[in-house]
Amino acid sequence: MHPTTARPTITVTTDGAGVVSHVGSRLLAELADRSGLTEAFSDALHGLRERCSGHDPGRVLTDLAVLLADGGRSISDLAVLRDQPTLFGPVASTATAWRVLDKIDPVALNRVRAARSRAREQLWAQRAETVGPIGGYRAGGRTWPGLRIMFDATLVTAHSDKELAAANFKGGYGFHPLTAWLDNTGEALAAVLRPGNAGSNTASDHIAVTDLALAQIPDQYRHGVPILVSADGAGATRAWLQHLRAQRQTGVDLEFSVGFTMTATVQAAILALPSNAWVQAINADGSLRDGADVAELTGMLGDLTAAGWPAGIRVIVRREHPHPGAQLSFTDHDGWRFQAFATDTRAGQLAHLEARHRAHARVEDRIRCAKNQGLARLPSRQFAINAVWVELALTAADLIAWTQTTLLEGDLATAEPAALRYRLLHVAARITRGQRRLFVRIDKAWPWREQLATAFARLHALPRPIA
């Protein structure tokens, strides 16, 4: 038999004192304060405050966003913060939080969105002064200049009867929110909660989320750097692409890269391409990809502008042999699988433009993480409250992204929220007082103690918001 090392025997008591947990989540709460988010929320909801001695509604929203970023699954999980007043200060009761959410109507929700934009502008200025301005986004082994906004919808299951919940195209029941994310930093820009039977390619919804997303971008970036909007095939509608093109008239240097529907006409045009039209595709790291090619299809589709598409639109197609076991569809032919996308980017090698578009798949990771931060568990039967909850889930994603891009580095700066909670957010510590200060003492053996302490030091060094 192999010898085993026994775990040390422990005796559990409930008489401890001066011990706190979720120390890293205090980092999120303090970043919300330092960026001006809490104050912006307070200003947006000033009229909802019942009495001066009551809880500030803006602070309630901040605590709920911290709760979601921390991994909380329901409003009652505010108890984790509320029962540690030494670390988090006064936190509203569950009933108070419900009342605040219930009072936020669509007009107030728009003010909450504007508050997020105001805080984002401040945080970006703080980050530019301490870390540096936002860089480009990676795709196809290179860094592309400017910002990239990724659009995608997702299905959220409702396990009970909720207002406006409906059956979806996959046979489930619930909601079908449409979201927009900033690829450069992982920030959540905008979302619109929709019934489960909402269409995937509803142009009016894409237009609404576009306007909300662009409103989140600080003015000097919205009008000062190129912006790429990307989406899957659901975004290939004439009305939405025309709306994106119209942004140039307002001084926004915006281009698009969206999936293009594989119709019979498109398939026939692909099959008519000469063999010399194809060039080898590239991998995500920029290396050549065996068994995959790309070609431009624009000239084979007739007058796209006359058909209602924006002037200058280009259609590019990729072909690749499906992996073993993949199921073929009617658009596949002669052992090839085809995927097409449309862009109005004028210059660039086809392989790089296709690799840039394929990087849109990162949005699925953003949504998956957001579902673990409140997006997948809408708390109320009322649609209006759930719409506010979605905005809080976006705020939670922002707090994580702001922390990683401003206060952390190395593996922690790119870790998923679940890993970040395990290593930083849920850390326990001992509270001591001395020299008229409050000390939070992390175990000297904790592997990520230095990174957490450094993050707090960087947070405290951030410039104060300008009043």
Name the pairing type of β-strands 137-139 and 173-175: unpaired
Measure the CA–CA gap between 179 and 191, rounded to whole angstroms: 4
Tens of pLDDT along 51-99?
665 799 999 999 999 999 999 999 999 999 999 999 999 999 999 999 9
Average pLDDT, the chain: 93
As a whole number, mean pLDDT of residues 195-219 equals: 96
As a whole number, mean pLDDT of residues 424-453 equals: 94
Asked if residues 337 and 317 have their Cβ atoms less than 8 Å apart, the reply is no
Measure the CA–CA gap between 124 and 149, rounded to whole angstroms: 16
- For 209, the token pair is 């989320």
- For 29, the token pair is 């709460």
Tens of pLDDT along 253-287?
999 999 999 888 999 999 999 999 999 999 999 99
Name the pairing type of β-strands 147-153 and 166-167: unpaired
Measure the CA–CA gap between 188 and 373, rounded to whole angstroms: 12
Q: How confident is the model at residue 16 (pLDDT cuts 50, 70, 90)?
A: confident
Q: What is the pLDDT of residue 224?
A: 84
As a whole number, mean pLDDT of residues 295-316 equals: 95
Question: Roughly how many angstroms between the first and final C-alpha of the chain, as a whole number?
Answer: 70
Asked if residues 49 and 104 have their Cβ atoms less than 8 Å apart, the reply is no
Residue 4, pLDDT > 90, answer no
Of 378, 373, 387, 364, the C-alpha closest to 151 is 364
Name the pairing type of β-strands 227-231 and 254-260: parallel
As a whole number, mean pLDDT of residues 391-404 equals: 98
Q: How confident is the model at residue 1 (pLDDT cuts 50, 70, 90)?
A: low
Residues of the chain above pLDDT 70, percent: 95
As a whole number, mean pLDDT of residues 37-41 equals: 97
Q: What is the pLDDT of residue 329?
A: 58
Residue 7, pLDDT > 90, answer no
Q: What is the pLDDT of residue 378?
A: 97
Q: What is the pLDDT of residue 436?
A: 85
SS (H, E, C) the chain: CCCCCCCCCCCCCCCCCCEECCHHHHHHHHHHHHCCHHHHHHHHCHHHCCCCCCCCHHHHHHHHHHHHHCCCCCHHHHHHHHCCHHHHCCCCCHHHHHHHHHHCCHHHHHHHHHHHHHHHHHHHHHHHHHCCCCCCEEECCEEECCEEEEEEECCEECCCCCCCCEECCCCCEEECCEEEEECCCCEEEEEECCECCCCCCCHHHHHHHHHHHHHHCCHHHHCCCCEEEEECHHHCCHHHHHHHHHHHHHCCCEEEEEEECCCHHHHHHHHCCCHHHCEEEECCCCCEEEEEEEEECHHHCCCCCCCCCCCCCEEEEEEECCCCCCCCCCCCECCEEEEEEEECCCCCCHHHHHHHHHHHHHHHHHHHHHHHHHHCCCCCCCHHHHHHHHHHHHHHHHHHHHHHHHCCCHHHHCCCHHHHHHHHHCCCEEEEEECCEEEEEECCCCCCHHHHHHHHHHHHHCCCCCC
Tens of pLDDT along 322-364?
766 556 554 556 678 899 999 999 988 999 999 999 999 999 9
Q: How confident is the model at residue 303 (pLDDT cuts 50, 70, 90)?
A: very high
Asked if residues 23 and 442 have their Cβ atoms less than 8 Å apart, the reply is yes
Tens of pLDDT along 98-138?
999 999 999 999 999 999 999 999 999 999 999 999 999 99
Q: What is the pLDDT of residue 181?
A: 98
Residue 467, pLDDT > 70, answer no
